Structure 1
Amino acid sequence: MFGGWKTSFTIGYGLPLKDYLFRAERKRFLNISFGCPIEEVVVENLVVKVVLPEGSKDISVSVPFPVKESRETKFSHLDMIGRPVVVLEKTNAVHEHNQYFQVYYRFNNLSLLREPMMLISGFFFLFVVCIIYMHADLTISKSSPSYLAKLQWDEVQTALQQIQSIMNRCLGIHDKLEASLRELSRTGDVQACKAARKSADNMLKELSKDLKPSLSFLQSSPLSASLYSKVEDLVAKEKELQEKLIVKHTTVTDSYEKKSGGRDIENRIAPIQQRITALRQDVDDLLEIIDEI
């Protein structure tokens, strides 16, 4: 431009393909003008690029004047081998060079199905992989040390859960014993209170038998070496709690049979009750610790 000013800009426009793309002798050819669309403009170096569909073959160019021709490959969305690009260069192009030129090529219509089939195949492969993943056994080899250690730890966890369940059932029986004493103070029915204690004794004995296999397993398992001391302490505390509750229960029922006064009964069981309260707190704390393991 005058004064040495320079500028750059982009011109874009659309054309109906049917007016420029034709068929001839089993080939397709593009017939379009070469030069710059702006009149009375001299282009120092004009480059025209024609991007053909992916899969085009037997490409040839017919230009009515000498140009420098080269080929490139352009990749776009979902392209596999890229789209062939015909590059035509002309120096000092003027308006007179705005003549029609032709680009001939062969293109199979089946190539239009390449990208849709690639998408379908990709999604199909993805679904197959998902199905295989959902049904495949991806666990570590069952003979590996890590897998065996995991199995042993699962067995330890199961044993701990069984012990917790038995301890909670024992505490429930303890609560029933306490409830029978409250019922005794309300009704004075000593025989019903003794029957409740006898039933509780039988249930506690059964639970004690159920507890032995889990304790034996934890004692023999190397993974539970650090846990067994807490479990052993829990069992010992609960056992002592049982004994103190039985002593309290026996003391209260005997006092009722002897028709002792209420204050006398309270004085006799006061130290026992203090120990029961402390033991119950210890048992609850140990159960909470084991539950967090």
Structure 2
Amino acid sequence: MFALQYSELGPPDVLTVGEAEEPHAGPGEIRIAVRATGVTPADWKLRSGAIRSEFRPDLPLPHIPGMDAAGVVDEIGEGVTGVAVGDAVFGVVDLAKLGGAAAEFAVLAAWAAKPDALSWEEAGGAAGNVETATRALDLLGVTAGTTLLVEGAAGGVGTVTVQLAAARGATVIGTAREANHHFLTGLGVTPTTYGPGLAERVAALAPQGVDAVLDVAGSGSLPDLVAIAGEARRVVSVADMDAREHGVHLTWAGSGDAPGLDGLAVAADLAAEGRFTVPLGGVFPLTDGAKAHELSATGHVRGKIVLTVP
């Protein structure tokens, strides 16, 4: 099969499309012919070596990036029920492998039926962020009546998080550049700018205070976010590698926290009801994987970056 891959760590141009060993579905897994796959910050941080020591010091090379995908089922592993060859699905790979989806075929460890309301591109970029958002919201105990502050609400994880939180009945405040405020309002978020004075701005929007804070930006704002929350245990980060220094819990795919895989079916149902979408920040063909990684690394993407697979 063909796949986007790299054989050495380095800049985006180490990525090439070439032949790779074809995977097969094991027990409890399915294989799909990939139509689209998402690009996450973890993909380029692993490729560059920025987080290899923290997350996967033994990352085998060559490595195929991509943690989520959408496509058509073409192989079903032992013990799998409720899905058939030819079904359209979206889902995530075995998250411990930190990749494998940016290819002609990918093996999914968790999935849900692709709703007609989502395009291949939207579905291809949905599952990883849905899992991350659900895991973080569960850790924070976000339910009906919760007031949640999301730092970095306009990015791939942020846009998914705010929708899933609102669907739980939470009131959501989200930080973003002013150019993205109208966009966030359309997702049911009360927007504000990030940076100095955030505590005062949030206090004006939520005089009763906030119950939980999720940092998806990793911009070094945790001291302010802890002060806003009142205590570190009410803050979770999915992006700041220095979170522990501030007493904040850092959650990631291999952190041992309960995965948010049940969020896939929830998101599919919400999409079918017209209550969930996946804003796209950029769509590239697989052969332009380097350009997609470059865009992700800018940190200023509104929505999810996706690669399409021929």
Over alpha carbons, which structure has the higher Rg? Answer: 1
TM-score past 0.5 threshold: no
Larger RCO, structure (CA 8 Å, separation 6 or more): 2
Name the one with the larger strand percent: 2
Q: Normalization by structure 2: what TM-score?
A: 0.16
Q: Normalization by structure 1: what TM-score?
A: 0.17
